[in-house]
């Protein structure tokens, strides 16, 4: 292009496939609202046990409004409200808060609470539990912590299933983390059913609608693209699973980025298409930031790839509905 004797370099063309659904799920939306409403109702500081959701941008934003993030209940003063994160907590945590007469609000996603209830029901029926989940993840710790120590056996792989030492193979049930890979989990469930034909469980697993839908959308775009960027945090299980799905479905360059500044432009040299999605804890502001960064370097054509519509909404707890 020639403008007033100056040569302008044309931007290279790029098709940007934008996955839908992506980003915030109903449980994350509710958890963030709970912190915001608690700050409005009780003023700052409001304590939050663990990152409310696994996203630095969200956490920093709430911290700026007066939320204080801690890892343990012991780190909270007795006279300020405390909120439990979306991932859920072991039973011992609300029990300790009650014993200390603390004001607490539980922001556990209702779909995680549903799994907690399943575990308790099976336990009450005399079944030993097997949980499919990631060791050390707060959701796994919270769900296993619904039952007495040793009552829930954790498996992460089909190989772990082969090593399980159960009390009675006729009295078993399984539950799962909500943010796992749908395909990997199907393999582990199959291994459980093959080894323990009497095992009881959900219809498929306990993976939530949001995790499932975000993985489906990545499956639809992965074969079309030269690179996939998943906006999300390194400690976000559901976001990490999207990167794995991208790679498994044919997009070798699938990367997690927290925001635009983390994009490795050199690694992207020569691409003509890119896929963008965001984990359930990543805000749309960051998606827009990443798209804008591409627009600054490429002549971008955006193609929305929508594989599902989501209309799920969860109410905040009553104590926070009555005010604000």
Tell me: is residue 25 an annotated ligand-binding position.
Answer: yes
Closest to ligand F3S by CB, 26 or 229? 26
CB 232 within 8 A of CB 279: yes
The verdict on whether 2 is a catalytic residue reads no
Residues near ligand F3S, by CB under 6 A: 25-28, 86, 109, 111-112, 178-179, 208, 210-211, 238, 280
Give the one entry of ligand 0CJ, ligand F3S, none that residue 26 binds, where binding means its C-beta sits below a cut-off of 5 to 8 angstroms depending on kind. ligand F3S
Q: Is 251 one of the annotated binding-site residues? A: no
Q: What angle do CA 209, 253, 135 make, to 5 degrees?
A: 50
- DSSP state letters, 289-317: HHHHHHHTTSEEEEEEEE--------PPP
Distance between CA 253 and CA 68 in Å, rounded?
37
Contact residues for 211 (Cβ-Cβ < 8 A; gap 6+): 178, 179, 180, 182, 238, 241, 280
Non-local CB neighbours of 179 within 8 Å, separated by 6+ positions: 139, 207, 208, 211, 237, 238, 241, 280
CB of 280 to ligand F3S, least distance (A): 4
Cα 250 from Cα 73, distance rounded (Å): 44
Smallest distance, ligand 0CJ to C-beta of residue 256, A = 11
Q: In whole angstroms, how close is the CB of 177 to ligand F3S at the nearest point?
A: 9
Minimal distance, residue 283 CB to ligand F3S, in Å: 14
The CA-atom distances, in angstroms, between 17 and each of 11, 210, 223 are 18, 19, 11
d(CA 258, CA 2): 38
State yes or no: residue 58 binds ligand 0CJ (CB under 6 A): no
Q: Out of ligand 0CJ, ligand F3S, none, which partner does residue 205 contact, by CB within 5 to 8 A per kind?
A: none
Q: Give the residue among 95, 103, 110 at the shortest CA–CA distance from 209.
A: 110
Among 16, 19, 37, 53, contact with ligand 0CJ (rule: CB under 6 A): 53
**Does residue 27 interact with ligand 0CJ by CB under 6 A?**
yes
Contact status: 237 vs ligand 0CJ (CB under 6 A) = yes
Residue nearest to ligand F3S (CB): 27
Q: Which stretch binds ligand 0CJ (CB under 6 A): 73-81, 148-156, 260-268, 279-287?
A: 279-287
Cβ proximity to ligand F3S: between 46 and 53 the closer is 53
Q: How far is CA 247 from the centre of its chain?
A: 18
Q: Which residues of this chain interact with ligand 0CJ, rule CB under 6 A?
A: 27-28, 53-54, 86-87, 109, 112, 139, 178-179, 236-239, 279-281
> Which positions are annotated as active-site residues?
139
User: Binding site for [4Fe-4S] cluster: what residues are annotated?
Assistant: 25, 109, 208
């Amino acid at each position: 292009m020639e403008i007033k004797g100056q040569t302008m370099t044309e931007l290279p063309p790029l098709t940007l496939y934008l996955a839908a659904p992506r980003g915030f799920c109903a449980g994350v939306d509710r958890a963030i609202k709970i912190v915001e409403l608690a700050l409005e109702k009780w003023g700052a500081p409001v304590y939050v046990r663990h990152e409310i959701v696994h996203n630095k941008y969200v956490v920093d934003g709430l911290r700026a409004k007066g939320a204080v993030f801690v890892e343990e209940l012991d780190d909270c003063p007795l006279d300020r409200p405390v909120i439990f994160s979306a991932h859920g907590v072991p039973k011992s945590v609300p029990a300790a808060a009650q014993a200390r007469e603390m004001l607490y609000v539980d922001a556990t996603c209702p779909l995680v609470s549903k799994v907690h209830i399943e575990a308790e029901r099976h336990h009450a029926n005399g079944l030993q539990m097997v949980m499919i989940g990631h060791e050390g993840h707060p959701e796994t710790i919270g769900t296993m912590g619904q039952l007495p120590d040793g009552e829930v056996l954790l498996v992460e792989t089909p190989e772990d299933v082969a090593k399980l030492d159960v009390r009675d193979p006729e009295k078993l049930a399984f539950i799962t983390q909500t943010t796992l890979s749908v395909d990997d989990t199907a393999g582990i469930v199959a291994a459980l059913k093959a080894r323990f034909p009497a095992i009881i469980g959900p219809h498929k697993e306990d993976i939530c609608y949001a995790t499932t839908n975000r993985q489906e959308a990545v499956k639809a775009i992965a074969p079309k693209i030269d690179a996939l960027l998943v906006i999300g945090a390194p400690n976000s299980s559901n976001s990490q699973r999207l990167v794995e799905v991208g790679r498994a479905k044919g997009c070798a360059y699938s990367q997690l980025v927290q925001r635009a500044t983390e994009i490795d432009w050199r690694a992207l040299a020569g691409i003509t298409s890119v896929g963008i999605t965001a984990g359930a804890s990543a805000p749309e502001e960051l998606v827009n930031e990443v798209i804008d960064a591409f627009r600054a370097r490429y002549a971008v054509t955006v193609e929305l790839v929508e594989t599902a519509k989501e209309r799920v909404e969860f109410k905040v707890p009553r104590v926070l509905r009555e005010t604000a």
